[in-house]
Copies of this chain bind each other. A is one copy, B any other.
Amino acid sequence: MSEQDPLVIFTPSGKRGRFPTGTPVLQAARSLGVDLDSVCGGRGICSKCQITPSYGEFSKHGVVVQDDALSDWNAVEQRYEDKRGLKPGRRLGCQAQVMRDVVVDVPPESQVHKQVIRKRADVRPMVMDAATRLYLVEVEEPDMHEPTGDFERLARALETQWGVTGVTADLSLMARLQPVLRKGKWQVSVAVFHDHTGAPPRVIEVWPGLHEGGLFGLAIDLGSTTIAAHLTDLADGTVKAASGLMNPQIRFGEDLMSRVSYVMMNPGGDREMTRVVREALSDLARTLAEEAGIAPELIVEAVVVCNPVMHHLFLGIDPVELGQAPFALATSSSLSLPASELEISTINPRARAYILPCIAGHVGADAAAVALSEAPERSEDLVLIIDVGTNAEILLGDTSRVLACSSPTGPAFEGAQISSGQRAAPGAIEKVEIDPLTKEPRFRVIGSDLWSDEDGFSAETAASGITGICGSGIIEAVAEMRMAGILDGSGLIGSAEQVGTPRCRAEGRTHSYVLFDGSAEGGPLVTVTQGDIRAIQLAKSALYAGARLLMDERGVNKVDRIVLAGAFGAHISSKHAMVLGMIPDAPLEKVSSAGNAAGTGARIALCNIAARAAIEANVRKITKIETAIAPAFQEHFVAANALPHATDPFPELCRIVTLPKVSFNAGGGDSGRERRRRRRG
């Protein structure tokens, strides 16, 4: 490379260098460390190294690029153009040679480490760098005079042609290898898994010639109630198919602790639960592959996130220790292992699985995935991240320190233990408004965009009916009841007389509020009972107390922003949540939803190998707070029972909402005196 050699400038990286006339662009890119993809290693067959030369004067770079800056279009490029077509202006980087000074643009699809923009504007883009990569190699033919195994020659080819050293493989790959090598005439595509743990790279699959079918992975969010998976292209992070199904373990217990109890009562029951969840995952993988129209053996990786009990049940470990203090995990580290050990039988038999680390006995790999997605350790302002589910996982932190705990909210937020509660499904009331003057409600149900007082509502909901109230619906209903003065600060529902509406009906010594009465048409009566209010109070107190415990540890009374994660978090109205005192007081615009952050975290770990090492290191740094043994938790819990709170002021909430100062005899059992006084008034 002398001063006379042509100058090559790559964009967008800005990397530049001089190369002898005739150097292929791919070779120049490699020697400069420019991120330019290639599967075939410059043989002109994979077309991954497409580049776009720029011509004209570039004062910014100080060069003028002539029309003949690159060598002429050659036969290989012509053949590719004829067969597949190249976009206008594109060249194959391995064929086009540098003849004069040139500016070469590497389009995003030609970058290995391409950025994948996430839907939300407030998060970093994900950078592609999957653990499993494809390499085309030419393997030496066997030689009787220098006898070595076919696999050893494949390993040597990976080393000399790609710098991938010391590969190993399962026996089943060895058994596949010989016919594939011969069918490919000693040219084969090799999928190699690079383990971030430092274990030797593993050959996962081989195909004769150039494999053009792609490589895929599953990002799996294994929840107590639902299992969701995204089938993802490992080259560019595209989601090819997404699907979910109910966790079949539900038949052994709705919530985690009832599943743990099941195991305690039925020795060996854990094995049965392990079996059904693994089968469900296999089914889900098969469905996704069918939906995306790809061969199952092209799924070469799976990343799984889940809470600690699901973690143990999925791994085949008895979860009973997680049901009692000190909540000891059998293993807390991340796991990188063959997917076959987890009996995921419908993907490549040599596919790899990665399970994110658990943070603590109550704070699982799902919380770690939320941390990976939301990156509190990189937040300049203090962020509170709440993943709302049967257990709430709570993270609080910024660049200086991150804390984590879980809080046993129970299933009320998911509509369970609520008298008219149901899962989020068509027919479920999901949004509620109550007129503070008339105390009359209106609502929307899943499956229709109309409010119940709008024209056409009956027609649109005729098919589903109005069947009950789901998690977000009950939160809105309770908050609206509080705002409309139907419910007092202690959580008591007033009587018809106290509130001034016949919708408040007596039920024994308490009252309930009728949200919808379909009994005239043989439909259900959807009410919010005093028991429902108590269930919501217990759940929200636990959630709030957990958050406060972390805030205590950080020595703060307020947070800069709040992120609600979880599928459910996406549906919660921030205002209503704050009226209930589910979350600490904060400006409403500082409360955002992260959607299924755990699932996103799984997808990041699937698409970027460095993210695995990063979250493992971060998890070790997170301060774990155990709510079950913190005396302050109980105090916070009691104080948080009021709506929104007995002592915490909630100034931001007061700025937008004025809560009626009603009280429905919080003191005595019978509210007779209060009622009499009102009647007189």
The interface of chain A, by Cβ under 8 A from chain B, is: 141-152, 170-172, 174-175, 177-179, 199-200, 315-318, 321, 325-333, 335, 337, 341-342, 358-361, 624, 626, 628-629
Contact = CB atoms under 8 A, between A and B. Distances in A.
B145 A328 contact: no
A330 B626 contact: no
A361 B316 contact: no
A178 B318 contact: yes
Contacts of A151: 330-333
A177 B360 contact: no
A333 B166 CA distance: 12
5 contacts: A144-B325, A147-B626, A149-B330, A150-B328, A175-B318
Given A170-B341, A199-B199, A341-B170, A330 B175 contact: yes
A527 to B, nearest CB: 41
Nearest to A325: B144
Given A142-B327, A148-B329, 10 more contacts: A144-B628, A147-B328, A147-B332, A147-B626, A149-B328, A149-B330, A152-B332, A171-B341, A177-B331, A179-B318
A73 to B, nearest CB: 41
A623 to B, nearest CB: 10
A175 B333 contact: no
A329 B144 contact: no
A178 B315 contact: no
A604 to B, nearest CB: 23
Contacts of A318: 175, 178-179
B624 A329 contact: no
A147 B361 contact: yes
A147 B341 contact: no
Mostly helix, strand, loop or mixed at chain A's interface?
loop
Contacts of A360: 147
Q: Which 5 A-B pairs give the minimum distances between C-beta atoms?
A: A149-B332, A142-B328, A147-B360, A149-B331, A151-B331
A626 B152 contact: no
A315 B174 contact: yes
Contacts of A174: 315, 317, 330-331
Contacts of A316: 171-172, 175
Contacts of A179: 318
A326 B142 CA distance: 6
Nearest to A177: B330
Contacts of A629: 144
A327 B175 contact: no
A178 B321 contact: yes
A207 B76 CA distance: 65
Contacts of A143: 326
B199 A152 contact: no
Contacts of A626: 144-145, 147
A149 B327 CA distance: 10
Contacts of A628: 144
A430 to B, nearest CB: 37
A500 B174 CA distance: 61
Contacts of A146: 624
Interface centre among A148, A177, A179, by most B CB within 10 Å? A148
Nearest to A315: B171
A144 B327 contact: yes
Contacts of A331: 149-152, 174, 177
B361 A317 contact: no
B171 A317 contact: yes
Contacts of A337: 171
A361 B144 CA distance: 8
A178 B330 contact: yes
Contacts of A325: 144
Contacts of A149: 328-333, 358
